Amino acid sequence: MLNLVLFGPPGAGKGTQSQKLIEKYGLIHLSTGDLLRSEITQGTPLGLEAKKLMDQGVLVPDEVVIGMISTKLDANKDAKGFIFDGFPRTVAQAEALDSLLEAKKAPIAGMIALEVTDAELEHRLLLRGKDSGRPDDANPEVIRKRVKEYNDKTAPVAGYYKSQHKFNSINGMGTIEEIFHSIEEIIKGYLQ
Ligand code: AP5
Ligand code: MG
């Protein structure tokens, strides 16, 4: 089993690269952002609560996303591996993920962090906000709040994986293909 965490600030390209990775390596993509937006679309109570926070650019509570990930892991028992995208976003989430995977004897192989400048993040998200329908993309203030949440609460998760010697950082600026190539180079090491 190959379990990877794709890491980086809002707009770094986690979802874009995950799509290419699942095609090439046959892994299951678990994006907590996508799972939450699906709850919103279905109008569930969880979705309604989450929407209030997501529209402001702040994180939803740890228990909510940990519960969603736990359900998805149970529902995909025969998976070749998982790409975690937008999760874990706090150290508490990282610890919970380790416990869930310990039960499966399939720990995280590594984290791959996409490094992108703040100016490029804002540019990408505002561009997408023109037609994505995502309220959190449309407003520069909300985008800055998302980046601040990342710096305050999520950036420390990199240290968590550094201490386990599982951290890799790559340049997230450039074309989608160039970035994918850098990720493939890291994955080659894990598949040996
Ligand atoms: P989430 O959905 O995870 O959003 P995010 O991480 O803030 O940002 P994105 O998903 O928009 O960025 P991305 O890195 O996937 O980039 P993408 O490939 O889309 O979270 C949304 C909200 O949900 C959070 O704010 C929070 O409230 C809540 N939430 C989610 N998970 C949570 C958790 N674990 N705990 C608590 N709360 C949670 O690319 C962005 C754009 O750039 C696209 O238009 C793309 O086409 C373009 N692009 C991609 N690559 C390139 C490139 N190389 N060059 C030019 N453009 C590019
Ligand atoms: Mg995403």
- Quote the pTM value: 0.97
Query: Which amino acids are annotated catalytic?
Result: 14, 89, 128, 134, 146
| Mean pLDDT value of segment 39-49 | 97
Contact residues of ligand 1, CB 6 A cut-off: 8, 10-16, 32-33, 36, 53-54, 57-60, 65, 86-87, 89, 93, 124, 128, 136, 146, 175-176, 179
pLDDT tens figures, 112-171: 999 999 999 999 999 999 998 899 999 999 999 999 999 999 999 999 999 999 999 999
pLDDT tens figures, 45-103: 999 999 999 999 999 999 999 999 999 999 999 999 999 999 999 999 999 999 999 98
CATH fold of the domain at 3-191: Rossmann fold (3.40.50)
Cα 55–Cα 57–Cα 60 angle in degrees, nearest 5: 90
Domain ranges within the chain, ordered by starting residue: 3-191
Structure tokens of 148?
């601040």
Among protein residues, the one with the nearest Cα to ligand 1's atom 26 is 59
